[in-house]
Amino acid sequence: MAASTRAVELALAAGAAAQDKMANDVVALDVTTQLALTDAFVIASAPNERQVSAIVEAVQERLSQLGCTTLRQEGLREARWVLLDFGDIIVHVMHSEDRGFYDLERLWKDCPRLGVPPTSA
């Protein structure tokens, strides 16, 4: 089973919002076959805590415009690895150092990628 149309829509919107705030290496993964908890992960990174926070705010604002609210969030105070749970998708915004260390793409390497198009900024 593949990610729902709504999950793909939200993942692509979250990815675009992250890119608008200059996030690095934005990736969206369809995790439906590996995880019953959600349909997609979006992973983005930034070189400092301030930018991580700005990306989180932009993602929440963009998904709010699509009628989606954050069900849970963790890590915003430290802004090293912020997890945003929107139900259909989970967004991970990580400090670049932490992203390299945890290497989530390697852990979820069997999951198909959803195409997050590059921004034309």
- Note the pLDDT tens digit of each residue in 25-60: 999 999 998 888 899 999 999 999 999 999 999 999
Please count the structural domains in the chain: 1
In a domain, 42, yes or no: yes
pTM, two decimal places = 0.92
In a domain, 70, yes or no: yes
pLDDT at 121: 46
Name the strands in the sheet holding 89-95, side by side, starting at the edge strand that comes first in the sequence. 72-74, 81-85, 89-95, 40-46, 24-30, 113-114
In a domain, 64, yes or no: yes
What is the SS3 assignment for 81? strand
Enclosing domain of residue 20: 5-114
| Cα 52 from Cα 74, distance rounded (Å) | 13
High-pLDDT (> 90) share of the chain, %: 79
Residue 100's CATH number: 3.30.460.10
